Amino acid sequence: MAKKIDKTNVARLLDRAKIAYELVPYTVDEDNLAATHVAEELGEDIATVFKTLVLRGDRTGLFVCVIPGDREVDLKTAARISGNKKAELIPMKELLPTTGYIRGGCSPIGMKRPFATYIHATCLEHERIYISAGIRGLQIALAPRDLIAYVGATVAELCTEKSN
């Protein structure tokens, strides 16, 4: 019999919004929290596993970027798209108090307060994408358009080109 997966706050919020999703558990490696590892554990293409980054802009303050797991956010582009001159990732020690999530378990859904959210345009190339369910060891698979609508995300080119 399959082990029952406890619903996270992210899953409860999606239930309340009547958005279809699937909870997908994976084995956590505390020494490797990279999205590439998560994709390997899920047996999924890294292009469908998105990571959630929290940035601070010099004009607008905090905002969120959701990007493919094998990409890096282009800070200049993210700043421009979000109405800032400069942007930087927030220090790791600020992640939990700011969002309610820890590294490796940060979701764009259900943060302590809503932030402007930007999602990389490649999300629309996929029927479904994976995002953190709000804890390490659990991902949520959902249609990217549902995520965009739910968090009010702006779709944009946020990343530098993939380095091979």
What pLDDT sits at residue 1?
A: 47
Mean pLDDT confidence for 16-25 = 96
What pLDDT sits at residue 113?
A: 93
Antiparallel, parallel or unpaired: β 129-132 and 116-120: unpaired
What pLDDT sits at residue 3?
A: 59
Q: Which CATH number fits domain 9-90+104-117+127-156: 3.90.960.10, 3.50.50.60, 3.30.70.2740, 2.60.40.10?
A: 3.90.960.10
**How does pLDDT run across 95-104, given as a tens digit for each residue?**
999 999 999 9
DSSP 72-125: -B-HHHHHHHTT-S-EEEPPHHHHHHHHS--TT---SSS-SS--EEEEEGGGGG
**How does pLDDT run across 36-63, given as a tens digit for each residue?**
899 999 999 999 999 999 999 999 999 9
Percent of the chain having pLDDT more than 90?
85
Name the band, by pLDDT with cuts 50, 70 and 90, for residue 6: confident
Where along the chain do its domains lie? 9-90+104-117+127-156
**How does pLDDT run across 115-162, given as a tens digit for each residue?**
999 999 999 999 999 999 999 999 999 999 999 999 999 999 998 765
